[in-house]
Structure 1
């Protein structure tokens, strides 16, 4: 993890997951917004200029768009890393989709994913799926097009131009192609239902270890009985108000709790003694 005044850059999925589990969010979250930056695109990323690109986006949003801060809470990069905007935290509404910001979390995916633009790297693709699933789990959202949304589904007036459940097109024109006409197979609701949503649902942290910097597997190898004991222990901590996030219990129930997350929790518990 690397931190500047304005951003936090996470080196791995497990590091981000542990951090996310510790975050207390008072806003009601019902939508995870997916955007692409369009510009900058992959040609402006050299593998090490994450903070430079983030600051450039922040300056553009504030000086050219008149925003109080960078628009998005989260940014994903071609190398699979995730950045969090400290000035646009989870408890502040994003400036992402007019009409859908009040209860939204905004993710900017670095690149141009229109047809003829950038091709998602394997690391970037994996991170996008990981992040959407992690946020849906965090905020107890069903993984569907009613909660995982694209900017292209709204018009310039802030009205949704699709039935988010059926995918049927209403009247109106998309304000942008965002997150791209080639983003996981297309940018309509039906495209997302056929491509993006099933991939998020089926995503597992064991799918790809490349975004953990080729470290040894972070997976906890426990027996069924040991997982039950872990769930019971976490439930006891929750009942005693030692921890306040039910996602710890859910992760143990789904056998998705990682070594890094458990280490983070131990550190937090020790600091409270």
Structure 2
């Protein structure tokens, strides 16, 4: 069997490292590769996937919304979020799923078991934010708060959340138990921090969905202030584990998957 991840650029992706380690551990005869597909070639996606006889694939930036018109079905999570990160091909049908929110919350719940009573601020209003907010809303009693530079991004949000600006979030920062950065600020060589942490309470858990670098600028700053921090490695591993279950109906070896990524990092 063949599986893949599609995106652009894609050479940084550790999905092949993670999935191939899992296949080996389970003696599952398959291989997983990264396919770089620029936006200009995306209209050929059906031909590219069919030609390679791929049975399922992951979708990463910038194609999570672009893939939807090519799908025959999408699950409820994908409909709510408006983005797909996993595609299963069954009897010629392309079926879309979104495992990002499940992946993040599965990991977060292990290090912060009292999610039910947490007051949570999510920074950014893109696809990842929406997926995480949708999944977190199943766990928490308090209304979630999402902050974005422009409130225009909330136009197509149907989730019942508090929608605020980054300036409003900064002013009320001390009231949150968990702060989650879903913006690209801090990725790769980017040194930006999306929000001023001056009013941060020392008890607040500060999280970033990025795992490369292992500590983004916002996590480094929070750690320097004495706050607990949590990066996006577990989200990456657990969303991959969910994808594997969708494709194969088998249970993955999550420890092997995580160890493979850590070793590579």
TM-score, structure 1 as length reference: 0.26
Higher relative contact order (CA 8 A, sep 6+): 1
TM-score, structure 2 as length reference: 0.27
- Tell me which protein shows more strand as a share of its residues: 2
